[in-house]
Structure 1
Amino acid sequence: MTLERFTIISRVLAFDNRQARRSQVRGDKLAPIRSFYEKWTINLQVLYVPNENITVDEQLIPFRDRCPFKVYMPSKPGKYGMKAWIAADSATAFCLQFQIYLGKTSDLPERNQGERVVLDLVSQYTGRNVTTDNFFTSHNLAQELLKRKITLVGTVRKNKRFLPVHCTVKELRKLPIYTSKFFFHEKETIVQYVPKRYKIVTLLSTLHHNGKILEEHSKKIPEVIKYYNLSKGGVDTMDQMVRTYSCKRKTNHP
């Protein structure tokens, strides 16, 4: 495509009513592409039936131009861009649903954001498992998903109040490596595992209800940890594929 043709298409291409755009943007930062965005997310669910496990995680879409909801994430390779919440099939890395983070909607910070995001992204599904990281995982989320016949497996931050009193880092640091401690409450299982010295991994699961230990290369690892490691990479794999097969081309634009 020549530069002249690209410039002409860019001038006339629009997904909204330009005359009403200013009034719409005041209440919705995504107004210029809102109709296209909603149709796309609907088609993602219609065209694909996911496997038994869904991964929910965040993705940074690298972008350095002007954007009212551009974020800075130093832990990501791109650092600047648009943040999106993604639900992907763990087995195939197919994107099932996503939400673009538009920033604060009010002066007060959003409470239980991770819980709200997961419930929104998997609202169309039932009878499956959801794998999340410690930003999303909580007791309330696990109970709400069970009501929808969805199980949860996810890492947990060590300062969460719903953890048992015996789940103290000070006590676990005294244990030898490959040691596991299980706590069972109703339909929830909490496991704490010591993969290496001075490191503790805490997981919550409503899918597993026993303390089964697997032996792997002379290491003892709980079945819950093994399942999490196998199912956590759906969004990361999708992000890697997007970067590998990118349609971006080198330009003189900064």
Structure 2
Amino acid sequence: MSLKRVCAILLFVRFDNISDREERKKMEPTAAITWVVEEFVKNCGACYCIGEYSCIDEMLFGFKGRCRMKLYIPSKPRKYGIKIMALTDAKTHYFLNGYIYSYKGSDGRTN
């Protein structure tokens, strides 16, 4: 699929219910994408068993749009983005589990 086609599809795709998004945003900053991230993590865990060596680390997903969770980390190649805490296999670099860091003290499950 071409990049132009993917961009056209992304203009029309919604992953959540827009009618109650504002209520959920008050409690959870990642309300618009929570379902997609949870399904991705669930599928990663179902398709792979972690090996002998694992690693817990932060990733910065480069993003320059408007977002409450956007962080500035000067030591990263892309300075602005969304921070993701991830459990990965150290040998294969396979993502097994993780969550979006939305604010200080967030652990992906509690507010």
Q: TM-score range by the shorter chain?
A: 0.7 to 0.9
If asked which structure has higher relative contact order (CA below 8 Å, sep 6+), I would say 2
- Measured after TM superposition, the shift of residue 90 of structure 1 is 1.1
- Runs of 4+ in structure 1 off by over 6 angstroms are none
Alignment of 1:54-65 (within 5 A): 54-65=54-65
- 5+ residue gaps, structure 1, are 105-109, 121-254
Give secondary structure in 2 for the equivalent of 1:81. strand
Q: Normalised by the size of structure 2, how large is the TM-score?
A: 0.84
Change over 3 Å in CA distance of 1:20–1:94 after alignment to 2: same
Change over 3 Å in CA distance of 1:18–1:93 after alignment to 2: same
Q: Normalised by the size of structure 1, how large is the TM-score?
A: 0.39
Residue identity in the other structure for 1:55: C
Residue identity in the other structure for 1:48: Y
Over the residues paired in the alignment, what is the CA RMSD in angstroms? 2.4
Q: Deviations over 1:62-87 (max 9, x none)?
A: 11111110000001111110111111
CA distance in 1: counterparts of 2:68 and 2:7, whole angstroms: 25
Equivalent position of 1:88 in the other structure: 88
Equivalent position of 1:76 in the other structure: 76
Equivalent position of 1:10 in the other structure: 10
- 5+ residue gaps, structure 2, are none
CA distance in 1: counterparts of 2:100 and 2:13, whole angstroms: 21
- Measured after TM superposition, the shift of residue 53 of structure 1 is 1.3
Alignment of 1:190-209 (within 5 A): none
- Measured after TM superposition, the shift of residue 11 of structure 1 is 3.8
Equivalent position of 2:40 in the other structure: 40
- Measured after TM superposition, the shift of residue 103 of structure 1 is 1.1
Equivalent position of 1:19 in the other structure: 19
Indicate whether 1:30 and 2:30 are aligned: yes
The percentage of aligned residue pairs carrying the same residue is 31
